Amino acid sequence: MVYTASFAFFEAIWEAGVTHCFVNLGSDHPSIIEAIVKGQNEKKGHFPIIVTCPNEVGLFGHHPMHAHSN
């Protein structure tokens, strides 16, 4: 796979301290899905954990993780 803006985005948020991403991806997000697969394969342990969730959980599900991690 080539280096893409989507992959650079995940690298940047990892470097900024983001450890989890709550996502609701569909067929209109192929480059993001490819970047997730690339990161999980090439950067084991140095890539955000992807949590797939519906919109409603994504909006409010981050709060307990944030509260727990700080």
Number of residues that make up the chain: 70
- The answer to whether 14 touches 47, Cβ cutoff 8 Å, is yes
pLDDT-derived band of residue 52, with 50, 70 and 90 as boundaries?
Answer: confident
pLDDT at 61 over 60: no
Per-residue pLDDT, 28? 83
Provide the number of structural domains found in the chain.
1
- Please list the residues that pair with 52 across neighbouring strands: 23
Domain limits for position 52: 5-69
CA 38, 42, 43, 49 dihedral sign is positive
Looking up tokens 């992959």, which residue turns up?
A: 7
Query: pLDDT per residue over 5-50, tens digit each?
Result: 999 999 999 999 999 998 888 888 899 999 999 999 999 999 999 9
Per-residue pLDDT, 26? 81
Angstrom CA distances, 7 to 17, 21, 42, 53, 59, stand at: 16, 14, 11, 20, 23
